[in-house]
Amino acid sequence: MNRARPTEPPVWFADAAEINPFQLLLDLHDQAVARTPGTGLDDVLTELALSAAVVSWWTRWQPSVIHTALRAGADLTDIAKATGLDAIDFLRRWWRWADVQTRLDIGGRPSVDPIEVRAIERRLGLGVVR
């Protein structure tokens, strides 16, 4: 991911997924704003490809932002309201992410400290039923 922008708007997911995620958001905005009733097939496919790539990226990125919010002191209600998700839904995403990050070794240390994850779970009163 994060190659230079293609010269032609992408009509396939694989091409859109190569674009920098923040540029994807801008491109999707521009594509949606430019849509008219007479929009052609390539324009519609471009919007689909861009939106699918945004969803794919966000699905991977959202749990780390949830973790940041939890570290900052957000509670379950705060995050549920911010994400529009039920607590169990965002917790499942966060737990999956945290499980990987606590096992990911970077220079002899985990990407995310397991003690920090357990402290967040205790603060939230989670009897950790995953």
The answer to the question of residue 3 being in a domain is no
Domain count, the chain: 1
Instruction: Identify the band that residue 36 occupies on the pLDDT scale cut at 50, 70 and 90.
Output: confident
Residue 1 lies in a domain: no
What tokens appear for 24 in the block? 């994807």
Distance of CA 26 to the CA centre of its chain: 16
Read off the pLDDT band of 34 (50, 70, 90): confident
- Please write the tens of the pLDDT for every residue from 58-113: 999 999 999 999 999 999 999 999 999 999 999 999 999 999 999 999 999 999 99
Which pTM was predicted? 0.76
> Can you give the residue range of the structural domain that contains 47?
13-124
Residue 55 lies in a domain: yes
- Give domain status of residue 77, yes or no: yes
* Residue 2 belongs to a domain: no
Task: Give whole-number Cα distances, 97 to 66, 90, 91, 119, in Å.
Answer: 10, 11, 10, 16
